[in-house]
């Protein structure tokens, strides 16, 4: 049997050509003029899956962009892995900051530069090639299903319902996803948790029109000052969120677990240097990694009021606005948190202003236990490829669809991401190192082998 | 001798025609395409002064728009009144909210509707017509000088230097200004104080680039949250500004003076209704009028940070900004206050952010004592016209050039303004009631007579 290492070596140019074909389709889901590109990208995936060895592959309609489904069922008594990925990408603005055209992939310094090079075309395409190898070598130990959506970058608005409608077809033991990162090329890691999100917009109204700050200043409450005071009250001096009940459902993590997580390599000085920070700030009693990994947070994502142009305008504004989001940890329900926020924000509003709170967006957190079979298989797979046991990492980010899979399909996900922080996803000059692309394929092949073995 | 009432009655149509000629020149000082209109408006004033009876009138260059100077010197032993006004106006945006064309004055419901109808073409032109009457009737009791500038609406950047250069020419006993308001048509009032201004812009920087709020939220200080906390600290629960030394130079007002001021008619319920406020808010221990009249204030005039577009973007912004201005009372020096603000704002900045503070703009406050001769003359003049003693009022607004006059020329100003709050100055549909225009002319004539009498 040919080894995966050799197979990659012999086929690596073709792998890149095929990936580049997918990248060249500008499938930006947030811009409606790219609707035809969404279909083209989906068709490209269908063809790729069939060529890689799928028994069947289809471009299926959803309420939004189509979903690509493919499968190879070898034996109904074997376990089934459902691979999830997305073929849509983020917009490319600001275009003038790109060193090469975002949809003309270019290799520089051993990295593929293009929109989608990592997120998620590069990462998801590794699965097609790992699958191809296993089929060609007749070494599949599981049934494999593929599901590729075209709306991840806009919050997967249609996929939950689509899953509901195709529950039987999607039946699987585990969902395998490469849409996250690893610590470094020599420090493999597995994402074991994602945070949830409750995203609110608030509006504070003082007088019913903008006033002259000279004639009224001091006598009429200024909504921008009031909003500042209200925001200031949401987090106390110790970095604790003050909303009553906010922490009620946060699971406490044992000292043992915290000690295990603390083994993940982390250099605070490097971290500060990378962000040009004089000091970090966060909840008292927790490390920087714990603050994003296992604790919720509250951030102003935007705020605006009054005159924001050049120079001085003496206005006492009528209104002040802020977008405020909370990252939640698993077990915190985003609907409940949104309600608690609303109630508290209205409660702390002084009588001389009117407050409106809108719930813009939300998603549940997710946790992937390190005790599940898929985790153990992944751990072995990374160890085979990198000669190092991977570190379990709780990510501060959110992929709301992952918790939806658990709710709707009752299937856990294993997050085997191979991206690096330097990949600049969502930014100009997105890139993906060839090293990570090929190592990812290798690791995925090992995963199937171990998973099949452990599930026996 | 013909009475001023009769003179107005006989000439009122001509007065309006002449004023309309001035209004029809769109002399917007902030828009450079109107440069030729500034010269046209200045020339119009020169002609008007000569026709009204000035011995000489000139359009004189300054570093910016020209200044019109005119005079009638009747006797060097008599007192001299220097009339100040401005021929420039504010822009007219949003133009679609105007019911009639802003530079085609129209009379509706007894009011002149046009940009500049009140501020300050209508109000300053009353002085030309009062002067004309006095000259024609040979009843001038003072020498009269006129100074009309074309940059008041952009902060009078050139007039201070121009006054410095023409000190001897401008020598006078009092400066007479109509560029403020009165309480109501049946409640005459005289503005006895103006607040000063210190206008700052602050920038708070956290990380050196916008970050993903999921991956970093909770571990890196958010400059928008920090700015909110800092703004919240600038004013305490009692409405006191917390900047150390801020109140050091604020003169205490005696209980007697406060009792006198409290006689000015004021209806809190009406005030709240007009601004659609559930409650007023301000410094503890002071009334609404005192809060704007005799006490300093601090207002956020604008603030902005992060994502302010539609929907949710999960950004942890790199920077947050605010424009913060303080209205000052007489005796508070705006340079000193700006320095105190800077020092305090930097002091309260936590170590995990970087703060920049810019001093954008400033002006000194002004007080016009009710004991000075010009005030007493004005008081008698209003009483003659309105059959009511005028109320002394401290305005919350600022006319920085008034304190500059005192500094540079060492001459006090008397602020005989006839505008109403409903005149919508600086807004669409600016207007000036004919009643106020004619009553203003009448009152100004009485002022000269009393002032000459009292100065004997």
Domain CATH number, residue A35: 3.40.630.10
CB contact under 8 A, A218 and B283: yes
Give the whole-angstrom CA distance, residue A140 versus residue A158. 31
Residue from B203, B217, B271, B274 whose CB has the most chain A CBs within 10 Å, to mutate: B217
Looking at residue B336, what is its pLDDT?
A: 98
Q: For residue B260, is it within any domain?
A: no
Q: Which of A214, A276, A396 sits opposite B217 (nearest CB)?
A: A396
Computed over every residue of chain B, the mean pLDDT equals 95
Residue from A300, A325, A330, A403 whose CB has the most chain B CBs within 10 Å, to mutate: A300
Domain end position, chosen among A305, A338, A363 = A363
CA–CA min distance B8, chain A (Å): 33
CB contact under 8 A, B323 and A306: yes
Q: For residue A290, is it within any domain?
A: no
Residue B213 forms contact with A (CB below 8 Å): yes
Q: Which of B213, B311, B351 sits opposite A327 (nearest CB)?
A: B213
Residue A270 forms contact with B (CB below 8 Å): no
Looking at residue A451, what is its pLDDT?
A: 98
B25 and B152 share a domain?
A: yes
Residue B302 forms contact with A (CB below 8 Å): yes
Residues 6+ apart with CB under 8 A from A203: A319, A320, A321, A355, A356, A357, A358
Which position has the token pair 């329900």?
A333
Query: With DSSP H G I counted as helix, E B as strand and the rest as coil, what are the percentages for chain A, rounded to 5?
Result: 35, 25, 40
Domain that holds residue B137: 4-194+365-454
Chain B residues with CB inside 8 Å of A299's CB? 213, 217-218, 222, 224-225, 316
A222 and A115 share a domain?
A: no
B406 and B351 share a domain?
A: no
Looking at residue A395, what is its pLDDT?
A: 85
Flag residues of chain A having pLDDT under 50.
none
Task: Name B107's bridge partners.
Answer: B112
CA–CA min distance B193, chain A (Å): 12
* B187 touches B391 (CB < 8 A): yes
* A416 touches A178 (CB < 8 A): yes
Interface of A with B in 11-50 (CB under 8 A): none
pLDDT at B265 over 90: no
Residues 6+ apart with CB under 8 A from B131: B49, B52, B53, B54, B72, B83, B144, B146
**Tens digits of per-residue pLDDT, B85-127?**
999 999 888 888 899 999 999 999 999 999 999 999 999 999 9
* A381 touches A389 (CB < 8 A): no
B114 and B227 share a domain?
A: no
Helix (H) / strand (E) containing B60? strand B56-60
Residue B225's closest chain A neighbor by CA? A300
B8 and B98 share a domain?
A: yes
Which position has the token pair 């004919």?
B434
Taken in order B198, B204, B208, B209, the sign of the CA dihedral is negative
- The two tokens of residue B159 are 């007039």
A209 and A352 share a domain?
A: yes
Which position has the token pair 């020598």?
B171
Classify the phi-psi angles of A429: left when phi > 0, otherwise alpha if psi is within -120 to 50, otherwise beta: left
CA–CA min distance B66, chain A (Å): 24
A327 and A374 share a domain?
A: no
How would residue B421 be classed by pLDDT, with cut points 50, 70 and 90?
A: confident
CB contact under 8 A, B303 and A304: yes
Q: For residue B58, is it within any domain?
A: yes
Nearest-10 Cα torsion for B14, B15, B17, B22: 150
Domain end position, chosen among A339, A363, A387 = A363
For chain B, the domain total comes to 2
Size of interface A-B (CB pairs under 8 A): 293
CA–CA min distance A201, chain B (Å): 9
DSSP B296: -
User: Rounded to a whole number, what is the distance in angstroms from the first to the last CA of chain A?
Assistant: 22
CB contact under 8 A, A199 and B397: no
Looking at residue A1, what is its pLDDT?
A: 58
CB contact under 8 A, A311 and B276: no
B95 and B241 share a domain?
A: no
pTM of the model: 0.83
Residue A293's closest chain B neighbor by CA? B215
Q: For residue B96, is it within any domain?
A: yes
How would residue B333 be classed by pLDDT, with cut points 50, 70 and 90?
A: very high
Give the whole-angstrom CA distance, residue A228 versus residue B427. 28
* B357 touches B326 (CB < 8 A): no
Taken in order B201, B205, B211, B214, the sign of the CA dihedral is negative
A32 and A171 share a domain?
A: yes
Q: For residue B258, is it within any domain?
A: no
Classify the phi-psi angles of A285: left when phi > 0, otherwise alpha if psi is within -120 to 50, otherwise beta: left
Residue from A211, A290, A299 whose CB has the most chain B CBs within 10 Å, to mutate: A299
Residue A321 forms contact with B (CB below 8 Å): yes
Interface of B with A in 391-450 (CB under 8 A): 395-398, 426
Q: Which of A211, A235, A354 sits opposite B225 (nearest CB)?
A: A235
Which of B261-265, B337-341, B394-398: highest mean pLDDT?
Answer: B337-341
A317 and A427 share a domain?
A: no
DSSP B421: G
A331 and A349 share a domain?
A: yes
A100 and A202 share a domain?
A: no
CA–CA min distance A98, chain B (Å): 17
> Looking at the predicted complex, does its ipTM rise above 0.85?
no
**Tens digits of per-residue pLDDT, B40-57?**
999 999 999 999 999 999
A454 against B251, higher pLDDT:
A454
- Residue A409 sits at the vertex; the CA angle it makes with A408 and A411, to the nearest 5 degrees, is 125
Residue B205's closest chain A neighbor by CA? A277
Q: Which residues of B23-33 are buried (b: 16+ CB within 10 A; e: fewer)?
A: bbbbbbbeeee
- Report DSSP letters for A301-346, one per residue: EEEEEE--SSS---EE-SEEEEEEEEEE-TT--HHHHHHHHHHHHH
Q: For residue B262, is it within any domain?
A: no
Task: Name B181's bridge partners.
Answer: B419
CB contact under 8 A, B282 and A211: no
Q: Percentage of chain B surpassing pLDDT 90?
A: 83
Domain end position, chosen among A335, A363, A391 = A363
- The two tokens of residue B132 are 């004309």
Rounded mean pLDDT, B261-283: 91
How would residue B159 be classed by pLDDT, with cut points 50, 70 and 90?
A: very high
Rounded mean pLDDT, B182-186: 92
- Closest by alpha carbon to A163, among A407, A398, A358, A450? A407
Q: For residue A277, is it within any domain?
A: no
Rounded mean pLDDT, B346-372: 94
Q: For residue B279, is it within any domain?
A: no
pLDDT at B1 over 80: no
Helices (H), A137-204: 159-165
Q: Which of A280, A292, A396 sits opposite B352 (nearest CB)?
A: A280
Chain A residues with CB inside 8 Å of B283's CB? 218
* B266 touches B289 (CB < 8 A): yes
CB contact under 8 A, B279 and A308: no
Interface of B with A in 142-201 (CB under 8 A): 195, 197, 199
Domain CATH number, residue A326: 3.30.70.360
Looking at residue B394, what is its pLDDT?
A: 86
């Amino acid at each position: 049997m040919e080894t995966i290492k050799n197979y990659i070596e012999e086929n690596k140019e073709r792998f890149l050509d095929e990936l580049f074909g997918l990248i060249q389709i500008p499938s930006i889901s947030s811009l409606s003029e790219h609707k035809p590109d969404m279909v083209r990208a989906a068709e490209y995936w269908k063809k790729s899956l069939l060529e890689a060895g799928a028994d069947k592959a289809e471009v299926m309609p959803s309420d939004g962009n189509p979903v690509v489904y493919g499968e190879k069922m070898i034996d109904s008594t074997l376990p089934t892995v459902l691979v999830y990925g997305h073929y849509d990408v983020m917009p490319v603005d600001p275009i003038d900051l790109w060193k090469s055209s975002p949809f003309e992939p270019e290799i520089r310094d051993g990295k593929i530069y293009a929109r989608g090079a990592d997120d998620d075309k590069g990462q998801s395409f590794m699965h097609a090639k790992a699958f191809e190898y296993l089929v060609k070598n007749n070494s599949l130990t599981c049934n494999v299903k593929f599901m590729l959506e075209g709306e991840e970058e806009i919050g997967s608005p249609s996929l939950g319902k689509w899953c509901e409608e195709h529950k039987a077809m999607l039946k699987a033991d585990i969902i395998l996803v490469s849409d996250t990162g690893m610590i470094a090329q020599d420090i493999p890691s597995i994402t074991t948790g994602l945070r949830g999100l409750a995203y609110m917009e608030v509006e504070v109204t003082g007088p019913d029109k903008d006033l002259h700050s000279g004639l009224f200043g001091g006598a009429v409450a200024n909504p921008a000052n009031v909003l500042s005071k209200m925001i200031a009250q949401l987090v106390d001096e110790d970095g604790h969120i003050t909303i009553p009940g906010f922490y009620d459902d946060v699971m406490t993590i044992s000292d043992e677990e915290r000690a295990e997580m603390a083994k993940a390599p982390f250099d605070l000085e490097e971290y500060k240097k990378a962000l040009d920070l004089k000091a970090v700030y966060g909840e008292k009693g927790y490390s920087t990694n714990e603050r994003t990994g296992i604790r919720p947070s509250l951030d102003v994502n935007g705020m605006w009021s009054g005159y924001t142009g050049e120079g001085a305008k003496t206005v006492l504004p009528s209104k002040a606005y802020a977008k405020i989001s909370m990252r939640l940890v698993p077990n915190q329900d985003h609907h409940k948190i949104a309600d608690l926020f609303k109630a508290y924000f209205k409660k702390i509003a002084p009588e001389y202003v009117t407050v409106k709170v809108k719930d813009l967006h939300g998603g549940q957190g997710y946790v992937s236990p390190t005790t599940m079979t898929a985790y153990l298989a992944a751990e072995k797979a990374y160890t085979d490829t990198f000669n190092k046991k991977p570190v379990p990492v709780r990510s501060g980010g959110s992929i709301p669809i992952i918790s939806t899979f658990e709710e709707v399909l009752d299937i856990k996900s294993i997050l085997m991401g191979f991206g690096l922080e330097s990949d600049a996803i969502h930014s100009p000059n997105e890139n993906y190192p060839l090293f990570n692309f090929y190592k990812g394929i290798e690791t995925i092949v090992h995963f199937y082998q171990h998973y099949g073995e452990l599930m026996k």
